[in-house]
C-alpha cells in the first residue's frame, strides 16, 4: 500500500483497524495476528494508532511452512495434505497464535495467494483463507477470492480480517 495511491485500500483498512481497536476496548479484549500473505499488514494497521498496545498483543508473520510449523505449531501433516492455503492450516495458525499470547482473547490468521503468480486451478491467485479463534471458543474459518493486483488482494484480505474480528467480538 503505497502512500501516493492512498485510495480504497489504505484508508478503508485504517478505518477498519480503528473500529476494531474501539470494539476491543469496549469488550476488554486483546488481539493477536498470524499472517502469511499479508506479511504483517493487519498488525501494522492496528499499531498505526497511538495507544493501540492496550488491546494489541502482537503478530506473527509466518510466510514459510517451516515458520508456520515452528512458531505456530501447524502440524507438518496438515501442510503436506492440505497446503499452506487451506482452512486446516489457518485454523491451526489461529490456535497457535492464541496459545502463544497469554493475554489475547481473539486471534486472526490469514494465508493466501496474493499473486501475481503462484495460483492454480484449485487455488487461484486471490484465494485467501482466514480463521478466527477465541479463548474458550470455537475456531471459525472463512474463504474469499479477491481480485486485482497483489497490493489489492493484500489490502482486501486485511480489510476482511478486521470484519471477521468484529463479527467475533459481536
Q: What is the CATH number of the domain that holds 62?
A: 3.90.950.20
On the CB side of 81, CA atoms within 13 Å amount to 8
CA-closest candidate to residue 15, choices 49, 51, 54: 49
> Considering the entire predicted model, what is its pTM?
0.94
Give the count of domains, the chain. Answer: 1
With beta carbons less than 8 A apart as the criterion, state whether 129 and 86 touch. yes
Q: Name the DSSP class of 121.
A: S
Q: Name the DSSP class of 142.
A: E
> Which residue segment(s) compose the domain that 60 sits in?
3-169
Segments of the chain with pLDDT less than 70: 1-9
Please tell me the predicted confidence (pLDDT) of residue 58.
Answer: 97
Please tell me the predicted confidence (pLDDT) of residue 11.
Answer: 81
Please tell me the predicted confidence (pLDDT) of residue 9.
Answer: 63
Please tell me the predicted confidence (pLDDT) of residue 107.
Answer: 98
- What angle is formed at CA 48 by the lines to CA 8 and CA 1, rounded to 5 degrees? 35
- Measured CA to CA, the distance from residue 73 to residue 53 in angstroms comes to 25
With beta carbons less than 8 A apart as the criterion, state whether 38 and 158 touch. yes
Cis peptide before 41 (omega within 30 of 0): no
With beta carbons less than 8 A apart as the criterion, state whether 69 and 89 touch. no
pLDDT tens digits along 3-15: 334 445 678 999 9
Please tell me the predicted confidence (pLDDT) of residue 125.
Answer: 97
Residue 60 CA, chain-centre distance (Å), reads 9
142 to each of 51, 102, 133, how far by Cα in Å? 30, 25, 12
Supply the Cα-derived Rg of the chain in whole angstroms.
Answer: 15
Amino acid at each position: 500500500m503505497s502512500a501516493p495511491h492512498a485510495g480504497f485500500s489504505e484508508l478503508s483498512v485504517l478505518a477498519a483497524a480503528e473500529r476494531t481497536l474501539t470494539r476491543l476496548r469496549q469488550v476488554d479484549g486483546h488481539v493477536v495476528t498470524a499472517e502469511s500473505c499479508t506479511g504483517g499488514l493487519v498488525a501494522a494497521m492496528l499499531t498505526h494508532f497511538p495507544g493501540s498496545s492496550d488491546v494489541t498483543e502482537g503478530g506473527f508473520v509466518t510466510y514459510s511452512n517451516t515458520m508456520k510449523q515452528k512458531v505456530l505449531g501447524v502440524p507438518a501433516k496438515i501442510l503436506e495434505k492440505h497446503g499452506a492455503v487451506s482452512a486446516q492450516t489457518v485454523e491451526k495458525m489461529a490456535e497457535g497464535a492464541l496459545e502463544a499470547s497469554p493475554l489475547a482473547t481473539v486471534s486472526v490468521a490469514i494465508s493466501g495467494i496474493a499473486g501475481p503468480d503462484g495460483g492454480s486451478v484449485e487455488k487461484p491467485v486471490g484465494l485467501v483463507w482466514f480463521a478466527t479463534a477465541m479463548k474458550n471458543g470455537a475456531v471459525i474459518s472463512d474463504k474469499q477470492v479477491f481480485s486485482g493486483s497483489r497490493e489489492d488482494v493484500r489490502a482486501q484480505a486485511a480489510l476482511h480480517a478486521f470484519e471477521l474480528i468484529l463479527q467475533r467480538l459481536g
